[in-house]
Structure 1
Amino acid sequence: EHFMSVISLVGLDCPPELILQRYTLRSHGFLFLKKDYTLWFALPLLVVSNIATALWNFQDTVIILFSMGLTSRYRRLNKYVAEICSDDNKDDQQNSKKETVKIYSWRKTREVYVNQAKLVRKVDTAVGPIILLTSFGNFYFICLQLFLGITQGINGASTLDLAYYVVSLLWLVTRFTWMILAAAEVNVQSKAALHDLYKYSSNCYNLEVNRLQNQLRKDYVAISGMGFFSINRNIILQMASAMLTYELILIQFDDK
């Protein structure tokens, strides 16, 4: 995507000796005029720009990796609970014995879920500013790309510019959606064990199982953007609705 951005700004007809100058003036023309251009000013600017682009993409990767790690831990816990419930239900049906899982074992399982929720909140505190920053940035640039495509049109654009616009927009939407889905999976997996607990045999039911059910049902665990918003699957539709609303407002003001 970044490579196509460079090609789109420079063009295929640019002489090799003018590539850096044309790219710098077109991408950062708001900083200086053509008469102020110097090689010693363009090189540091190019380095800083590439570092900023890499960090911008790296932010989403960090959030996705943290989310995948937390989700993986939840899945292992949920798998353990599912196996216990399945084994006890089978024994109860086959042997007709009213045996219960040791209360101590279920208490330890509940405490593990408590510690896992604490871990999610610690990670949320650490990466919350990054989530807020990258969500705002992705939201802004997606709206900007849509606005420019609608108002300026793409009918008169060259094939290269059109390809860059489509790839850039798809990359932004895909990356942002992937990040949201990865982070939202933490919230989904934090309650996934309830499905197996609700099917747990009444003959094996005990106080600790009831406490675990109440804990998973009432304790809201999710990654957030510094507490301003929590990331779950519903937020994708909310953001899509907000983007549509902003686009309509911007188009109306642009017409005036």
Structure 2
Amino acid sequence: MANYEISYDLRKKVHRITICLMLTAAVEHGLVNAHKLKAWIEETEDINEAFKQYFVSGYPHIFGAVEYSFSLGLLVQLTNLQRTFLWSYADVFVMLVGSAVTFRVNQFCRKVQTLSQKQINDKQAWQSVRNDYSKLFKLCQTTNRHLSNTIIVSFLFNLYFILIQLFSSLKQTADVVKKAYFLLSVLFISIRIACICVFGGNVYEEWANIGCYLNSIPSEAYNAEAERLIQYVLTCPLSLTGNHFFYITRSLMLKIAGAIVTYELVLIQFYENQLR
């Protein structure tokens, strides 16, 4: 597809997505840890003791087994930071792959639009386009084969954390900063899920646009190869999927929102006493 028109700079888009998502993750992680450290400093009024309480209370499963030291605390904190970025990287990776596949599908879509508008009735041209669509379909299949598990893990982690943070925000507390953190955390995760659905779902949206342009081919440009292409496109859709359990589309956001409300109501019923 080297002779296809390039509609936008994919590299700049990839850089913007990566910087924005990773920066958001860093800000969220920094705010919550700064708030915890500030609370311990105000309580102990000693910087060394504050750091000790911050590390010991934050990682009791580690410092309950080994003796505390400041250097070990920094190492554990660095590991936790890497874990945060690793969680965010899975989401970013799905968005970047979705953007890359969308870029190719968009090129194909614009090619079909051009052939349709110029009323080109050359069978070889339509056959070449059909062969290119076959390559796109194989690309999408290969992508799903390698990315499906990552997509499932990404959605499961985001759904789990948004349920936990939303449930925590419902607990009665006099600490306004703590409550604001939980609400902001829910907002950040919601934006992350929305971005995955948008950037990953753009593949499906571009595929739908291809079908619209093919169905609007004028009779002057319609031939046997164009008909074969239409049948091929309609029977072999392009989209990112989580092992075929679900397809990433923009409407998936509404389904996830409904699932969050349902599970949150279940959590409220089971842990009603903790919310009082």
Q: TM-score normalised to the size of structure 2?
A: 0.81
Task: Specify the SS of the correspondent of 1:222.
Answer: coil
Q: CA RMSD in A?
A: 2.1
**1:104-183 matched pairs, under 5 angstroms:** 104-150=124-170, 152-154=171-173, 156-158=174-176, 160-183=177-200
Task: Specify the SS of the correspondent of 1:191.
Answer: helix
- Separation (CA, whole Å) in 1 of partners of 2:239 and 2:213: 21
In the TM superposition, residue 31 of structure 1 has moved relative to its aligned partner by 4.2
Q: Letter of the 1:125 partner, please give it.
A: R
Contact 1:106 1:208 in 2 (8 A): yes
Higher CA-based Rg:
1
In the TM superposition, residue 241 of structure 1 has moved relative to its aligned partner by 0.8
How many residues end up aligned between the 2 structures? 242
Contact 2:193 2:253 in 1 (8 A): no
In the TM superposition, residue 201 of structure 1 has moved relative to its aligned partner by 1.1
In the TM superposition, residue 119 of structure 1 has moved relative to its aligned partner by 0.5
Q: Letter of the 1:121 partner, please give it.
A: Q
Contact 2:121 2:220 in 1 (8 A): no
Please say which of residues 39-48 and 163-172 is displaced more in the overlay: 39-48
Query: Which gives a bigger RCO, structure 1 or 2 (Cα 8 Å, sep 6+)?
Result: 1
Contact 1:59 1:134 in 2 (8 A): yes
Counterpart residue number, 1:234: 251
Counterpart residue number, 1:26: 57
Q: Letter of the 2:148 partner, please give it.
A: G
Q: TM-score normalised to the size of structure 1?
A: 0.87
| Ranges in structure 2 where 5+ consecutive residues have no aligned partner | 1-27
Q: Letter of the 1:137 partner, please give it.
A: F
Q: Deviations over 1:114-168 (max 9, x none)?
A: 1111111111111222111111100000011111112x135x123x323322321
Counterpart residue number, 2:35: 8
In the TM superposition, residue 44 of structure 1 has moved relative to its aligned partner by 2.9
Counterpart residue number, 2:20: none
Please say which of residues 219-228 and 108-117 is displaced more in the overlay: 219-228
- Separation (CA, whole Å) in 2 of partners of 1:70 and 1:34: 47
Contact 1:8 1:164 in 2 (8 A): no
In the TM superposition, residue 67 of structure 1 has moved relative to its aligned partner by 0.6
Contact 1:143 1:247 in 2 (8 A): yes
Distance 1:29 1:206, change over 3 A: same
Distance 1:234 1:168, change over 3 A: same
Counterpart residue number, 1:96: none
**Aligned-pair identity (%):** 23
Q: Letter of the 2:156 partner, please give it.
A: F
Distance 1:19 1:65, change over 3 A: farther
